[in-house]
Amino acid sequence: MKKLYATNLYVALTHYPVLNKNGDVIASAITNLDLHDIARVSKTYGVRSFYVITPLEDQKVLIESIVSHWVNGAGSRYNPKRREALELIKIKTSIAEVKEHIKKKEGNFPKTVVTSAKNNPDNISFDTFRDMLQGDHVYLMIFGTAWGLAEECMTAADYFLDPIWGNSNYNHLSVRSASAIILDRLLGKEK
Amino acid sequence: MKKLYATNLYVALTHYPVLNKNGDVIASAITNLDLHDIARVSKTYGVRSFYVITPLEDQKVLIESIVSHWVNGAGSRYNPKRREALELIKIKTSIAEVKEHIKKKEGNFPKTVVTSAKNNPDNISFDTFRDMLQGDHVYLMIFGTAWGLAEECMTAADYFLDPIWGNSNYNHLSVRSASAIILDRLLGKEK
């Protein structure tokens, strides 16, 4: 078993390149509650850092102002538990920049894992990824916003993770809900 | 095994009586993304209805306008999958009114289950509740907003569910993330 609080997992939330409803590649706008919810889930499950990716300078400034309110500003005194979570956030321009950043810390590039809405034979199961996380390698799990990651992100990834199926034929979860369920399946104690 | 898409579970999100940061009983304001995220999770896991509880008339009007935009208005044409989820929402004044509503449909009052942040010997485990949901009884799982359900809701409940522990000593999840993880543990296929 790995040491408590130390997982081999990094998480990224990508705002470019993602798809809009028509399948065009766009840069999406950030959603405040994505930052809070995914940071809190990341803290709960021992994720090493939570990268928020956007190439847009005005969006970076907005993320920075939200994070600094909770990490250094009035929010950090109002709710120290929120500070602990939002401290995990790092703002980057691209997935490539995130991979370089992790390489500098860890010595190696992370293996990348994306979520897929399709059941295909190349997907890895939650159990398989759970076992992989017990090894020595470091992984970067990438979530998309809007209508999901652009094709170029999908094909560049090392692994596709199985989609989440609940108890119905409906699988249209928010990225906030999906990331919570996935991290619990991979790292939760009740397994 | 129960029939696919038919669970014995109802879910409620309560805005009164809940606690503020100082432990005072308050009525909290609704959060738009709570409605969307919990409705989508409820649809994914076959929850029968998702009750949103508030005694405040202006808040009921606001919820009604959000739901009707997605169920009958422009939103229903823009995103029919969102309509399918938000159709599960029913607006009620109190937990008592929800229980009466379920009794009218089902013939019996539901057993109520609340989540607790405490590890205490009276809690039921996720596995126990998962097994209970395979029986004939109908259950109402109640989530609180703000700093959690007031004491009177806790003591009136039939069961307390174990808290969520991840992979750390941090358990400060949003109600959106917590409800997603709990429904997956209770009703997800990967078990």
Instruction: Give the tens place of pLDDT for each residue, A43-97.
Output: 999 999 999 999 999 999 999 999 999 999 999 999 999 999 999 999 999 999 9
Of A84, A179, A184, which to mutate for an interface test with B (greatest number of B Cβ within 10 Å)? A184
Whether B164 sits inside 8 A of A46 (CB atoms) is no
pLDDT above 50 for B4:
no
φ, ψ for residue B147, nearest 5 deg? -95, 20
Distance CA B1, CA B74 (A): 39
Instruction: Give the tens place of pLDDT for each residue, B147-180.
Output: 999 999 999 999 999 999 998 989 899 999 999 9
Q: Give the CA angle between residues A126, A139, A61 to the nearest 5°.
A: 115
A180: which chain B residues are within 8 Å (Cβ-Cβ)?
A: 173, 176-178, 180-181
**Residue of A45, A164, A166 with shortest CB distance to B166:** A45
Whether A4 sits inside 8 A of B172 (CB atoms) is no
Query: Angle formed by the axes of helices A32-44 and A175-187, to 10°?
Result: 10
At residue B136, the pLDDT reads: 92
Instruction: Please give the mean pLDDT across all residues of chain A.
Output: 93
Given a contact cutoff of 8 angstroms between Cβ atoms, the answer to whether A179 and B39 are in contact is: no
Strand bridging mode B25-26 / B111-115 = unpaired
Classify residue B2 as left (phi > 0), alpha (psi -120 to 50) or beta.
beta
Rounded mean pLDDT of B82-92?
Answer: 97
User: Which of A86-100, A116-130, B40-54, B77-91 has the weakest average pLDDT?
Assistant: A116-130
pLDDT above 90 for B130:
yes
Task: Determine how many CB atoms are found less than 10 A away from the CB of residue B169.
Answer: 9
At residue A116, the pLDDT reads: 73
ipTM: 0.95
Q: How large a percentage of chain B has pLDDT more than 70? A: 96
Instruction: Give the tens place of pLDDT for each residue, B11-48.
Output: 999 999 999 999 999 999 999 999 999 999 999 999 99
Q: Is the dihedral of CA A82, A85, A87, A93 positive or negative?
A: negative
